[in-house]
Chains A and B, each alone.
Chain A
Amino acid sequence: MRSLLTRIGCTIEELELSGSLAECCGFGGLQSTANPELSDDIVAKRQSRLNLPAVAYCAMCRDRLGNETTHVTHLLDFFLPLNTPDNLYRGTGPNLSERRENRARLKKELEEEIWHTAPAPGEPYESIHLVMDEEVRSLLEQRRILDIDLQRVIYHAETYKRAFINQDNGHILAGLRPVRVTYWVEYSKENDGFRVHSAYTHRMLVTGTDSLGDPA
């Protein structure tokens, strides 16, 4: 990594902790899932020691350590001719749903441009437009809930009228179990979309709740 960077003219300054003492984001070992507090703490410490733009060769470190102030670039971005040096991506990493959408988009592009296979037809629930504030977004991140999970629930609720309405504020509450997890979302209609107020999940099976495959 260091010799590749030197070869293209970069000057390297080693971090305080490197080599066998290097602190990384821990995502490869799923640390951010197993122990989120410790993981956030390590990431914050690592970020505080970055005085220069940094280079990572792990995609998770890139996304966990990079944000609008730390400027972390992935090594490959210097060598793959997709970006000009001035246009290197070094901002905040994608959230859980964006990460999944990136993978779906990549697959679609590969299908169209490389493999020349017909892409799978889009699902009707993908047209459900979600709106939410930052607080709800971070709740979804913490509870590992994807936008697509919520889109599926709302589409099911709106199509089959399988939901509850709170008479006090007009909020709608609906649940759906696509496979092994039941997702619940509290939402309200807003212009041409749906505002998400909260969402939660359970894996236990509850009688009288909907699973995919047995609509009302």
Chain B
Amino acid sequence: MSQGFYPPESGTWSCMACHCPLEEKAASITYLESSFHVTLLTCPQCGLVLVPEHLSMGKMFEVEKLLEDK
């Protein structure tokens, strides 16, 4: 079960190498033995995944802090 779809807050993004629009694909985010299953914009051809700023500095940052806490 996906724990959310996280597209960038703005912009119409495409892959620089493959020139194709991005699609919603399942991705795994793992850290210190915990994993999260999410949906992220991905290039359907080369599989490159886009991690947006709000996710990185938001949920991911909060979870990193919690998991690193001794």
Residues of B within 8 A of A (CB): 8, 10-17, 22, 25, 27-31, 40, 42-43, 46-51, 53, 56-57, 60-61, 63-64
- Assess whether A157 is interfacial by the CB under 8 Å rule: yes
Q: Select A206's contact among B15, B49, B53, beta carbons within 8 Å.
A: B49
Which residues on B sit within 8 Å (CB–CB) of A216?
17, 46
Dominant secondary structure of chain B at its interface with chain A: mixed
Which residues on A sit within 8 Å (CB–CB) of B46?
216
The reply to whether A164 and B16 contact each other, CB–CB distance below 8 Å, is: yes
Q: How far is the CA of A216 from the CA of B46 in the complex (A)?
A: 9
The reply to whether A164 and B40 contact each other, CB–CB distance below 8 Å, is: no
Q: Which residue of B lies closest to A171 (CB)?
A: B11
Contact of A184 with B51 at beta-carbon distance under 8 Å, contacts A168-B11, A207-B28 already known = yes
Q: Select A204's contact among B12, B14, B29, B53, beta carbons within 8 Å.
A: B29
Residues of A within 8 A of B (CB): 143, 157, 160-169, 171-173, 175, 182, 184, 186, 198, 200-210, 216
The reply to whether B51 and A164 contact each other, CB–CB distance below 8 Å, is: no
Q: Select B12's contact among A143, A166, A201, beta carbons within 8 Å.
A: A166
The reply to whether A208 and B42 contact each other, CB–CB distance below 8 Å, is: yes
The reply to whether B13 and A206 contact each other, CB–CB distance below 8 Å, is: no
The reply to whether A204 and B64 contact each other, CB–CB distance below 8 Å, is: yes
Q: How far is the CA of A207 from the CA of B17 in the complex (A)?
A: 18
Q: How many Å from the CB of A48 to the closest CB on chain B? A: 33
Which residues on B sit within 8 Å (CB–CB) of A173?
8, 13, 50
The reply to whether B49 and A202 contact each other, CB–CB distance below 8 Å, is: no
Which residues on B sit within 8 Å (CB–CB) of A203?
31, 64
In this complex, the member of A160, A165, A172, A202 whose beta carbon has the largest number of chain B beta carbons within 10 angstroms is: A202
The reply to whether B60 and A204 contact each other, CB–CB distance below 8 Å, is: yes
The reply to whether A161 and B16 contact each other, CB–CB distance below 8 Å, is: yes
Q: How far is the CA of A166 from the CA of B22 in the complex (A)?
A: 11
The reply to whether B11 and A209 contact each other, CB–CB distance below 8 Å, is: no
Q: Select B50's contact among A164, A169, A207, beta carbons within 8 Å.
A: A164
Q: How many Å from the CB of A58 to the closest CB on chain B? A: 29
Q: Which residue of B lies closest to A186 (CB)?
A: B53
Q: How far is the CA of A143 from the CA of B56 in the complex (A)?
A: 12
Which residues on A sit within 8 Å (CB–CB) of B61?
202
The reply to whether B14 and A163 contact each other, CB–CB distance below 8 Å, is: no
Which residues on B sit within 8 Å (CB–CB) of A163?
16-17, 48
Q: How many Å from the CB of A176 to the closest CB on chain B? A: 11
Instruction: For the complex of A and B, list the 6 residue pairs with the smallest distance between their C-beta atoms, beginning with the closest.
Output: A208-B49, A161-B17, A166-B11, A204-B31, A167-B12, A163-B16
